[in-house]
Amino acid sequence: MPTQKQPTQSPATSPVARKQKKPPAPPSPERRAELLGIAAEVFAEQGYNATTVRKIADAAGMLAGSLYYHFDSKESMLEEILRTFLTELWDGYDAVLAAPLGPRETLEALVTESFREIDRHRAAVAIYQKESRHLVTQTRFEYLLESQRRFEKTWLTTLERGVSDGVFRADLDVRLTYRFVRDTVWVAASWYRPGGGHSPEEIARQYLSMVLDGIAVRA
Amino acid sequence: MPTQKQPTQSPATSPVARKQKKPPAPPSPERRAELLGIAAEVFAEQGYNATTVRKIADAAGMLAGSLYYHFDSKESMLEEILRTFLTELWDGYDAVLAAPLGPRETLEALVTESFREIDRHRAAVAIYQKESRHLVTQTRFEYLLESQRRFEKTWLTTLERGVSDGVFRADLDVRLTYRFVRDTVWVAASWYRPGGGHSPEEIARQYLSMVLDGIAVRA
Amino acid sequence: MPTQKQPTQSPATSPVARKQKKPPAPPSPERRAELLGIAAEVFAEQGYNATTVRKIADAAGMLAGSLYYHFDSKESMLEEILRTFLTELWDGYDAVLAAPLGPRETLEALVTESFREIDRHRAAVAIYQKESRHLVTQTRFEYLLESQRRFEKTWLTTLERGVSDGVFRADLDVRLTYRFVRDTVWVAASWYRPGGGHSPEEIARQYLSMVLDGIAVRA
Amino acid sequence: MPTQKQPTQSPATSPVARKQKKPPAPPSPERRAELLGIAAEVFAEQGYNATTVRKIADAAGMLAGSLYYHFDSKESMLEEILRTFLTELWDGYDAVLAAPLGPRETLEALVTESFREIDRHRAAVAIYQKESRHLVTQTRFEYLLESQRRFEKTWLTTLERGVSDGVFRADLDVRLTYRFVRDTVWVAASWYRPGGGHSPEEIARQYLSMVLDGIAVRA
DNA sequence: CATGAATGAGGTTTCATTCAT
DNA sequence: AATGAATGAAACCTCATTCAT
């Protein structure tokens, strides 16, 4: 006895296909995106677990229950936030990787692209940093693992290419270097404020300068 | 079959010391420390909010309520974990700062000391990284703020001294460099596993090499 | 078998209005008051501490957690019950005190008003009697202390005026008399049942007769 | 199968009657009484339910668990406190009732005796006032009900005798008068402090003066 | 007698979620 | 789309009680 069939029982009485009753109107994508943005802010600020749906609703100027018109659950909001971010992140990375660049230029482009993503998805990045570790244990978030593996492979390959080509130092532990660069870049999301003094490109340049040449004055 | 006779019956007949008879009356402070260690692991693994006291109790082999014989609340466990860590951290830092070192040596010593603290207090550091941002808003955790401020001042001073002395590059944004170094070091807690291949000192050396001289091959 | 049809089916066929269909959307304040009334009964019956929120919820036909939609805590329910009572009590007292009455008439009017309050707020009075002593130690309930002090002053003044005017005996300890009258009146809440044989005014008359003229036959 | 027989099982092995193991020494009655006194104070002060055994133990300078060497349970402490009080109360009342007194003298003697009991068992009386209502529902405390009934009968009889004899006013509701006198007397336990300015006999005299002759100046 | 540690039941509270309106 | 009210599971915490030492 499917719930949705109910309207079909008396279709003759209503010849005009009037808006279905149960999902009265597919919640507008714009509103969804708006609400997800708000939710992401709160998640990033307070942590996913510490964020109650009531806090999100407050921030959105509605009541907690009303969110369920737009989303299945609190978790699905989180999922959509992270998935959206990762999708766009890989769009950017893929564009970089498709270009015929040397290892050093690739690294520079990846870092720059990363800061651009931080600029656009600051909240999502912050959430990712804080929550991904324990989310990956849930089947629903397995795609995080895939992304992580691809990410690691991308960076390791780039670094190794650089070492082979003689543009990166060979005396460093590549895994350690990978973590070093990765953390260095992404942790910025915890303090970066879009619209602050620095553009993503500027920050990228400074970071690259440090990472590539070090902070010590050359002998 | 009196329970009390058991030890007298086969002290020598059971060659295997099964499960280490717990000392007759373990003085409170040691048990506290033991339990705090367990709690810290769980907090670090799952996040403070996602950790239920039941999980901690399970890990400690007791019932949830029993924890309250030793601690006032879940929060007070967190507090004690972080406070203990910060106290020891500053003991180490103060020793470094008291020594008559140049800015570069100071930076090297601070980084090395930091990795030693990560080695000793991995869980606490991980917790600190994840939770401090929203904890500082609570009066109970205001001491985190003080520590942060002192921390920042210490590092900024060291970096500025280095720039003045001409041992650090003058073309870098000092605040950005501070964050760079800070994050670089502490995020290591999220993947560092004591007893793994690298000693804290080795890791410190590699990190310092990267931070000071960069990863690019010198022109 | 739509649930909604039920009212339309037999609105007139059921002569007995069974259990008073609750209004479609009872505005919050009324529901609050209703629930507070229920809670007050249970508190009065079993004592505040012995009353579990589950008992209140049972009495209200809901689940324990549901109460928290309306109230912050069990304690805040108690607070609101007592505060409401005291507010109305003082409204009544103030009206009496504003009238140009002699001390004996004032005393009579205060006693009568008191019995009326017992009639209207029996549960709250009983709770007040049982719990106020240890509640006053909590800052949240400091207003009870203020009320008590004002209460005492009001009665002492009235009694003293009566002694000065020669309508009350001068050979009695005024403080003792105050306690005597006070207790005599309020303890009635512990056995008074509204709708019983006596109206508040009748009880007041009898009490006043005893208090003013004694129970002994005049010599 | 009396518990105490257990040691008789191996009497031959220990020719010397050494202190029994299980109940190592029947807890001394003096210590019991002392602890009960302390418990009564705390019960009276905070209410039975709000009193934790830890609070009692604190007041007694011991740990919560240690109380269980002396008493079976928190409830049994309460029971013993109330039973002791009621036993002594009825000893006093019975002595009064055995004397060949007229109704007015009986009433005076009962009231005086009551204030003496309040003087000796203030805490117990206060507890009785606060808790008896809901205790009587438990089988363990049924004796409270019996006492109450006997109490009521005693007083009603005395009052009725007085009315018959023409020493008490006939125009009063006897039940109401009973409650009036009863409450008037016992509520005093809530503010009475032994060793204060008034002896029990003095207070009794004042109370009797008010109850018998009223507070109004005789016309 | 008393302690230190633990148990286990139950209490208050929180919160994601549902649903009729 | 959103509200208001409620659910139910699970969380934190309390506390009477037990027991080996």
pLDDT, average across residues A89-97: 97
Q: What are phi and psi of B121, to 5 degrees?
A: -125, 40
Cα angle value B175/B178/B179 (rounded, 5°):
90
The pLDDT of residue B27 is 53
CA distances from D172 to A23, A51, A211, C207, D133 (A): 73, 66, 99, 9, 26
Which two structure tokens, joined as six digits, stand for A2?
A: 């499917």
Cβ pair B213:A209 closer than 8 A: no
The pLDDT of residue D23 is above 60: no
Contact at 8 Å (CB) between B88 and B156? no
Is the CB of A214 inside 8 Å of chain B's CB atoms? yes
Q: Confirm whether any atom of chain F, the nucleic acid strand, is less than 7 Å from CB of B75.
A: yes
Task: Report residue D37's pLDDT band, with 50, 70 and 90 as the boundaries.
Answer: very high
Is the CB of B47 inside 8 Å of chain A's CB atoms? yes
The pLDDT of residue C196 is 78
pLDDT, average across residues A140-145: 95
Contacts (Cβ under 8 Å, ≥6 apart) of A43: A51, A78, A81, A123, A127, A131
Is the CB of B130 inside 8 Å of chain A's CB atoms? yes
Name the residue ranges covered by the structural domains of chain B: 73-213
The pLDDT of residue C190 is 87
Cβ pair D176:C50 closer than 8 A: no
Give CATH superfamily name and number for B73-213. Tetracycline Repressor, domain 2 (1.10.357.10)
Contact at 8 Å (CB) between A50 and B134? yes
CA distances from D55 to B160, C156, D74 (A): 58, 37, 12
Cα angle value D196/D202/D204 (rounded, 5°):
110
Hey, how many other C-beta atoms are within 10 angstroms of the C-beta on B148? 14
Radius of gyration (Cα) for chain D, nearest Å? 22
pLDDT under 70 in chain B at which residues?
A: 1-27, 219
Is the CB of D52 inside 8 Å of chain C's CB atoms? no
**CATH of segment(s) A78-213:** 1.10.357.10
Is the CB of A137 inside 8 Å of chain B's CB atoms? no
Contact at 8 Å (CB) between D111 and D180? no
The pLDDT of residue A136 is 93
- Alpha-carbon dihedral angle through residues C151, C153, C158, C162, given to the nearest 10 degrees: 140
The CA–C1' separation of A27 and F3, in angstroms, is 17
The angle that helices B122-135 and B174-186 make with each other, rounded to 10 degrees, is 130
The separation between CA A26 and the C-alpha centre of its own chain, rounded to angstroms, equals 25
Q: Confirm whether any atom of chain F, the nucleic acid strand, is less than 7 Å from CB of D73.
A: yes
The pLDDT of residue C208 is 95
The pLDDT of residue A24 is above 90: no
Cβ pair B172:A47 closer than 8 A: no
Characterise C94 by phi-psi region: left (phi > 0), alpha (psi -120 to 50), beta (else). Answer: alpha
Q: Confirm whether any atom of chain F, the nucleic acid strand, is less than 7 Å from CB of C27.
A: yes
pLDDT tens figures, D162-195:
999 999 999 999 999 999 999 889 989 988 888 8
Strands (DSSP E) found in D9-124: none
The rounded percent of chain A whose pLDDT value lies above 90 is 78
Is the CB of B214 inside 8 Å of chain A's CB atoms? yes
Question: By three-state DSSP, how is residue D102 classified?
Answer: coil
Which amino acid is it at B198? H
Instruction: For residue C67, give the nucleotide whose C1' atom is nearest its CA.
Output: F6
Q: Can you tell me the distance from the alpha carbon of A173 to that of B206, in angstroms, rounded to the nearest whole number?
A: 8
Q: Which residues of D touch C212 (CB under 8 A)?
A: 214-216
A103 to chain B: nearest residue by CA?
B216
**CATH of segment(s) D74-213:** 1.10.357.10
Beta partners for C168?
D216
pLDDT tens figures, A174-193:
999 999 999 889 999 988 88
The pLDDT of residue B193 is 87
Å between D92 CA and nearest CA of chain C: 24
Q: What are phi and psi of D2, to 5 degrees?
A: -65, 135
- Average pLDDT by stretches of 10, chain C with 219 residues: 40 40 57 97 95 97 97 97 98 98 97 96 95 93 96 97 96 93 90 86 94 88
Which amino acid is it at A80? E
The pLDDT of residue C219 is 65
Q: Can you tell me the distance from the alpha carbon of C159 to that of C104, in angstroms, rounded to the nearest whole number?
A: 8
DSSP of B121-179, one letter per residue? SHHHHHHHHHHHHHHTTSGGGHHHHHHHHHHHHHHHHHHHHHHHTTSB-TTS-HHHHHH
Mutate to test the interface with B, among A210, A211, A218 (most CBs of B within 10 A): A210
Contact at 8 Å (CB) between C180 and D177? no
pLDDT tens figures, D47-85:
999 999 999 999 999 999 999 999 999 999 999 999 999
Q: Can you tell me the distance from the alpha carbon of B24 to that of B46, in angstroms, rounded to the nearest whole number?
A: 33
Mean pLDDT, chain D, as a whole number? Answer: 88
The pLDDT of residue C195 is 81
Task: Report residue D26's pLDDT band, with 50, 70 and 90 as the boundaries.
Answer: low
- Bases of chain F within 7 A of a CB of the protein: 1-21
The pLDDT of residue A14 is above 80: no
Which two structure tokens, joined as six digits, stand for B116?
A: 């030693």
